[in-house]
Amino acid sequence: MRLLRIANIKSRRLAALRLGDLRLASIGPARLTAGHITRLTITATVAYLVALEIPVGTPRPVLAPLTALLVLQASVFQTLTAGLRKVASVTVGVLIAVAVSAFVPYNWWLLGLLIAVTLIIGRLLRLGDDFLEVPISAMLIFSVSEHGSAATGRIMDTLVGTGIGLLGGLAFGRLRTRPARDAVGELAGRVAAMLGEMADGLRAAPDEDSPDAVQTSQDRARELLEHARDLRGEIERVDDALRDAEDSTRLNPRALRLAPDEVTAHEVALRSGLEALDHSALYLRGLARSIVDSGRDPRDAPTRDPRTRARLADVLSQLSTATRTYGELMRGLPAPGVALEEELAGQLAEAHHKRNELAGVLEPDAGKLAADEAEWPLRGEILSHVDRLRTGLQVDGIPWQRHAGRDDAISHRRPRPRLRPGIARPVTRRSPPAAGRSPAGRG
């Protein structure tokens, strides 16, 4: 019966985690496929019709809608930068081809040389993905007999497509702050689900003081450790959603309806929230590693004590509840309700009380453990990870829009850099591990 109960709990938790994966995977343009297709179709068609009315353009200006399709991005800022790169690459390629064709006739080896030179120039100009437009434009102009009219037509079609694409970005570009808030909230739900799963694993272990209890907790901690490692990709996807939200407010007329302080506080608060959850995932991995390590020598392992398992499960359950509330606060930006803030403060206070109870049972018996000093840092690591999980959810430092009469000062810091594996990570200080036992923070 005990094994059946553990299996049922495990299946419910895995289903919740998979549901979180599906929700986080839906972040991005796939959710708006129909709207995206409609926007591209309208913009490209208008670009073609406008280019037809240009006297110096080509008879069938298909380059104009093609440029509009390539230029139009999810935000006005991205559309503008893409358009400038496109115009620069086409213009450089056309000018090089006109200059070369004025002195030498067309032949295959000159075409190859022209391609090589324009590729190098495109790279030197740092045109990004548009550097191939330089040799493409050069080849098309160099291969025709009427270089002047072809060059004028190509540049004009590119300008028309870029202009219409920019207008399409202004007309269709929307603020993507709501998807970013939802993404951070979903990530908080994932972290909360993992904390709850760890608490259930500790409670599902046998109540008696036996190696089986340690093994059960250790197995669940190993499973959770694997899930926590998978969070790295989810955090990066949420980071991309935040970057899209930040870009969507730049040069967007719709952002003018918002106060500058509100936009800045919104961006910084979301970025701070994501960083806090990123650190929580790291500390969760460290805690799971500590539980795994405590089962390697079950003689005096902290997780062998039923009282320790019960107290640790209580504080993790409370932290799971507080993490969900933290996610709701992120969803309510830029001005979450006072009730949510007070609710989170109360939950963290209760977590602190349960943490103190855990500290009492984790305190080692100096006489009993004098011969095994390895247990001292291990017990301290468990308590340290719990402390960091709790303090990371405090919202006093988040610069969101406060309510009237409360903390009107808002930070104007720029958004934090992207969370990628190369950035500095929080360091968990601990005593050097004893020989034969791996560091608890490694995961």
pLDDT on residue 213 = 56
- Residue 105 belongs to what H/E stretch? none
Convert the pLDDT of each residue in 94-134 to its tens digit: 999 999 988 888 888 989 999 999 999 999 998 888 889 99
pLDDT on residue 267 = 74
At the topology level of CATH, where does 175-391 sit?
Methane Monooxygenase Hydroxylase; Chain G, domain 1 (1.20.58)
* Nearest-angstrom CA–CA distance, 320 and 350: 12
pLDDT on residue 221 = 67
Q: Which of 269, 263, 304, 312 is nearest to 288 (CA)?
A: 312
Please, what sign has the CA dihedral across residues 164, 165, 166, 170?
Answer: positive
Q: Which of 367, 366, 199, 363 is nearest to 291 (CA)?
A: 199
Convert the pLDDT of each residue in 361-372 to its tens digit: 777 655 555 445
pLDDT on residue 297 = 58
pLDDT on residue 316 = 92
Q: Which residue has the tokens 């904390």?
A: 195
| Alpha-carbon separation of residue 88 from 10, 62, 127, 441 (angstroms) | 57, 19, 8, 50
* Nearest-angstrom CA–CA distance, 362 and 303: 10
pLDDT on residue 201 = 79
Instruction: Give the global pTM.
Output: 0.65
Stated length of the chain: 443
* Nearest-angstrom CA–CA distance, 363 and 374: 13
Peptide bond into 253 cis (omega under 30): no
Q: What share of the chain is helix, strand, coil (3-state, %, to 5)?
A: 70, 0, 30
> Residues of the chain whose pLDDT is less than 50?
1-31, 370-371, 401-443
pLDDT on residue 361 = 79
pLDDT on residue 10 = 45
Q: Which of 229, 236, 295 is nearest to 438 (CA)?
A: 295
